[in-house]
Structure 1
Amino acid sequence: MSAAGKRTETTVGTDVMTGVYLPGDSTAVLRELPVPSPGPGQVLIEVGASGICGSDIGYIYHEHKGHRGVDGPAYRGVVAGHEPSGRIVATGPGCRRFGSGDRVLVYHIAGCGLCDNCRRGYYISCTSVERTSYGWQRDGGHAHYVLAEESTCVPLPDELSYVDGALIACGFGTAYEGLRRVGVNGDGDLLVVGLGPVGLAAGMIGRGMGARRVVGVEVSPQRRAWADGLGVFDATLAPESDAEATAALVGDALGAPGALTTIDCSGSRAGRSTALAGAAEWGRVSLVGEGGTLETEVSDALLHKQLTLYASWVTSLPAMAELAVNLARWGLRPESVVSDRFPLARADEAYRLAAGASRGKVVLVPSEEDVS
């Protein structure tokens, strides 16, 4: 419900807040810091929910060269969390689209706004030195408040919760982009490989986009059980010892030679091989899982099946806004993939679970009252 001219600010009840920091030794620590004030073009958001992302686990939470800045985007010792959603409580000079009281989620990259990628809404691919990621190079959402650029805010439909918004801000946006690239629709089936939070998102979104049948492949029995409880997948399968054998199971589940569209969310060599082997002739394969390698025989696996491969990182800001509206229209709630909620004060416990054997997505909420 944003509107130009609505500039009544909500009083912030404190000058100090708690934030979560990741020192890189598999711990999450709490520190107090001042509540920031919005500058030109910025908004102050009271955080309603903030997700824990697998990239944070792999590159920041554990000791990793990316944490130290040897390669990749260095973590600068800021408040963690790049999946925030909440309510705007103050705006800085020059804000024109959003005002106090608006419910928003935050696209997790602030780009330069001028390069071709930024002008297309793909802030994730901005190469300017001005590019900063929430929770990596600037304070993120694991706090009571987060200072955000107005340009990175996405309206959160009234039908969706703050937890829904936090999930759209990264994982659901990533899955949506991958599925948009392969054109999931009612003409064919969808195979999802890897049923972590992004894979669960892909299954749910694929259902919303009209896929005839949705089948998942996942190594972990507890993650398969969690996925089965969502009512999204027609079948969830444990992988066999090789990709071709797993593809045969997929074919049996679909009653077809393969799926017209497949997406790998596992980021593993075996998972990617399964996504290729499980695709039907003339199929379209999406790769969104980070890390690992891709190794494949070319002629039979790719050429003779006439496959098309797509690789995508994170969706654009306009597509993220589109996704939020679509999820509300489809009557789908991202928060259903959340297996565990923790108050900010228990962030260390939350990160330990997210880095270990969580069934689904783990999110942080402001207080114990918001857990249930």
Structure 2
Amino acid sequence: MQAVVFLGEGKLDLREVPDPVPRPDEVVIRVKASGMCGSDLHHLHGPRRIGAELVIEGHEPCGVVQAVGDAVRPSEAEIGDRVMVHHYDGCRTCRYCRSGWTQYCPNARTVYGGLNGDGGHADFMKIPAHTLIRLPDELSFKTGAAISCGTGTAFGAIKRVGLSADETVAVFGQGPVGLSVTLLAKAFGARVIAVDVEPSRLEMAKKFGADHVIDAREQDPVDAVRTLTRDGAGADKSIECSANSTVRRQAVQALRQWGTACMVGVFGTIELDTEELIQLQKTVVGSLTFSKNLQEECALFVAERGLDVESLFTNEFSLDEAEGAYELFDRREIGKGVFVFD
């Protein structure tokens, strides 16, 4: 089969590798869609990788069960099932694994598609059966791929801040995760203020239901958010999706007293004034991806409300276009891309 591997230092390779064969507790899925994620670029531009360090990329896979191991129960997976993948594995016995937060396993953590396990940028993907989540019939494979990382991460952040329908939320950054927050938060019934510096992303935010959009190049986003809230108090909640330290500070400053900010963008630093946290009693939390249970809950939420998550993808590619696709993605000449398979 064909598979994409990152060699580091900005290089990737499309190579032929053997088709995977499941062990007793594993399944092989025929990949139907595999999304491109901004975090891929950290792997792409990381240190040179060789030999055993090379893994197949792609941690947003979705497809159909092709083969099952001898020990896999029908309740876990059967040939022909439409599935998403919670792209983590662990020891399966610690409290994190038992609660569905496998990514925090301290004993035997595997991350499929970039760290130490083969991912979905290939014709087939082999994973433990317990990582599978059935894809609702109403959802496309591309929607399932989005939920498997970016949209699922947005759902997890919304749940983290306990967003409710009578609240105003300011969403800082309208990349794929931020747009997912905008779409989902609107479906939760909240009033949504979307902030970014790219006009095209702000236009997408409007299409995804934002009540107001703020171009942070044209006006101070903190003042603009306050102007749009009652008595200039600020937003009830904010969700920051840019990983920019200045934007993180603005996400806290734009809150009302006793408001809650959620930091989603990974890497970088957070610098906050104690006036914001202590005197105004604001809360700042972090949110990293989602549990297996939240991924399933997100898929059901999207299906039940008929949300157009698939529109997050601006470009489709075949696997043999991977090099050019990542060049465009790296230069930010496309939004969110997805590899699709026959």
Q: TM-score, normalised by structure 2?
A: 0.94
**Corresponding residue for 2:17?**
33
Q: 1:219 aligns with which of 197, 217, 220?
A: 197
Per the TM alignment, residue 344 of structure 1 is displaced from its structure 2 partner at its CA by: 0.9
- Stretches of structure 2 that go unaligned for 5 or more consecutive residues are none
Per the TM alignment, residue 137 of structure 1 is displaced from its structure 2 partner at its CA by: 0.9
**Corresponding residue for 2:329?**
354
Q: 1:284 aligns with which of 249, 253, 260?
A: 260
Contact 2:32 2:141 in 1 (8 A): yes
2:212 counterpart of 1:235 = yes
Q: 2:63 aligns with which of 86, 104, 109?
A: 86
- Stretches of structure 1 that go unaligned for 5 or more consecutive residues are 1-16, 70-74, 368-372
Alignment partner of 1:214: what SS?
A: strand
**Corresponding residue for 2:283?**
308
| Cα distance in 1 between the residues matched to 2:155 and 2:58 | 20
How many matched pairs? 338
Per the TM alignment, residue 327 of structure 1 is displaced from its structure 2 partner at its CA by: 0.7
| Cα distance in 1 between the residues matched to 2:334 and 2:324 | 15
Alignment partner of 1:23: what SS?
A: strand
Contact 1:184 1:210 in 2 (8 A): no
Per the TM alignment, residue 333 of structure 1 is displaced from its structure 2 partner at its CA by: 2.6
| Cα distance in 2 between the residues matched to 1:76 and 1:53 | 20
The letter for the 2-side match of 1:204 is L
Map 1:31-180 onto structure 2 (within 5 A): 31-58=15-42, 60-62=43-45, 64-65=46-47, 76-96=53-73, 97-128=76-107, 130-135=108-113, 136-180=115-159
| Cα distance in 2 between the residues matched to 1:123 and 1:302 | 31
**Greater than 3 Å deviation, 4+ residue runs:** 253-256
| Cα distance in 1 between the residues matched to 2:283 and 2:55 | 40
| Cα distance in 2 between the residues matched to 1:364 and 1:205 | 24
2:318 counterpart of 1:343 = yes
Contact 1:208 1:327 in 2 (8 A): no
The letter for the 2-side match of 1:153 is L
Alignment partner of 1:233: what SS?
A: coil
1:169-198 Cα shifts (integer Å, max 9, x gaps): 111121111110111111201111111111
Alignment partner of 1:357: what SS?
A: coil
1:93-132 Cα shifts (integer Å, max 9, x gaps): 111221011101101111111111111110111121x221
1:140-188 Cα shifts (integer Å, max 9, x gaps): 1000110111111111001101100111111112111111011111120
The letter for the 1-side match of 2:18 is P
| Cα distance in 1 between the residues matched to 2:40 and 2:334 | 17
| Cα distance in 2 between the residues matched to 1:214 and 1:360 | 21
Q: 2:294 aligns with which of 315, 319, 325?
A: 319
Per the TM alignment, residue 365 of structure 1 is displaced from its structure 2 partner at its CA by: 1.0
| Cα distance in 2 between the residues matched to 1:322 and 1:231 | 20
Contact 2:240 2:262 in 1 (8 A): yes
Per the TM alignment, residue 240 of structure 1 is displaced from its structure 2 partner at its CA by: 5.2
Q: Percent identity?
A: 37
Contact 2:179 2:204 in 1 (8 A): no
Alignment partner of 1:105: what SS?
A: strand
